[in-house]
């Protein structure tokens, strides 16, 4: 048997080329008898397994007014505003999307709540824009707070988490020992 190409105008088959290159002893062990088409399988990930493409940024927490503007269990607090930008190529930022907010005060008090957004909280489209909402809080004996938020879209995708640290505003309520937040 000869390993030379009998017809120089046609390319040499891969199997024959491997034999020519000196792998003829290994060829039966590493190659199938015939070349097979690659098998391609396609599938779909369920929504809970899809990666998030929701991004939030530019978180700001600010005091709305110094006067006692809200109360919880007889204790007065101040209204604060949270605002941030969002981008969601798959949409879902609309009334019904949920913000999860956690605040860690420097006096050891941790608070958390969820806020279901209304159309009034959202400025922009379901794909990109900004969110702004108010909540009631009292610093108590704390001097600073770090607030972290994430956003879950109406199509169940969750954003990254972002944080913002603020010092207790001068004049903000907090003479009692109670530190709290309500959404």
Max avg pLDDT among 19-23, 76-80, 119-123:
119-123
Distances (CA, A) of 75 to 22, 144, 173, 179, 181: 88, 19, 10, 10, 11
In this predicted model, what pLDDT tens digit does every residue of 31-66 receive, in sequence order? 556 666 665 655 555 555 555 589 999 988 888 877
User: What is the pLDDT confidence band of residue 69, given thresholds at 50, 70 and 90?
Assistant: confident
Domain 52-182 sits in which CATH superfamily? Immunoglobulins (2.60.40.10)
Residue 124 phi/psi, 5° resolution? 135, -160
Distances (CA, A) of 3 to 60, 70, 102: 75, 91, 74
Q: For residue 139, how far is the Cα from the chain centroid? A: 29
Asked if residues 97 and 54 have their Cβ atoms less than 8 Å apart, the reply is no
Query: Among 59, 60, 68, which Cα is nearest to 139's?
Result: 68
Match 């400025």 to its residue by tokens.
123
Domain assignments of the chain as residue spans, ordered by start: 10-39, 52-182
pTM of the predicted model as reported, rounded to 2 decimal places: 0.66
């Amino acid at each position: 048997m000869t390993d030379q190409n009998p017809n120089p105008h046609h390319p040499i088959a891969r199997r024959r080329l491997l034999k020519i290159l000196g792998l003829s002893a290994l060829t039966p062990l590493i190659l199938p008898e015939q070349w097979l088409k690659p098998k391609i399988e396609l599938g779909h990930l369920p929504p809970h397994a899809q990666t998030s493409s929701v991004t939030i940024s530019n978180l700001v927490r600010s005091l709305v007014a110094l006067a006692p503007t809200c109360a919880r269990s007889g204790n007065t607090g101040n209204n604060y505003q949270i605002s941030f930008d969002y981008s969601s190529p798959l949409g879902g930022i609309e009334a019904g999307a949920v913000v999860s907010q956690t605040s860690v005060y420097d006096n050891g008090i941790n608070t958390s709540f969820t806020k279901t957004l209304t159309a009034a909280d959202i400025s922009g489209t379901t794909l990109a824009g900004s969110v702004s909402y108010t909540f009631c809080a009292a610093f108590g004996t704390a001097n600073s707070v770090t607030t972290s938020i994430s956003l879950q879209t109406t199509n169940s995708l969750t954003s990254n988490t972002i944080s913002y640290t603020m010092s207790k505003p001068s004049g903000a309520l907090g003479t009692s020992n109670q530190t709290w937040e309500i959404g």
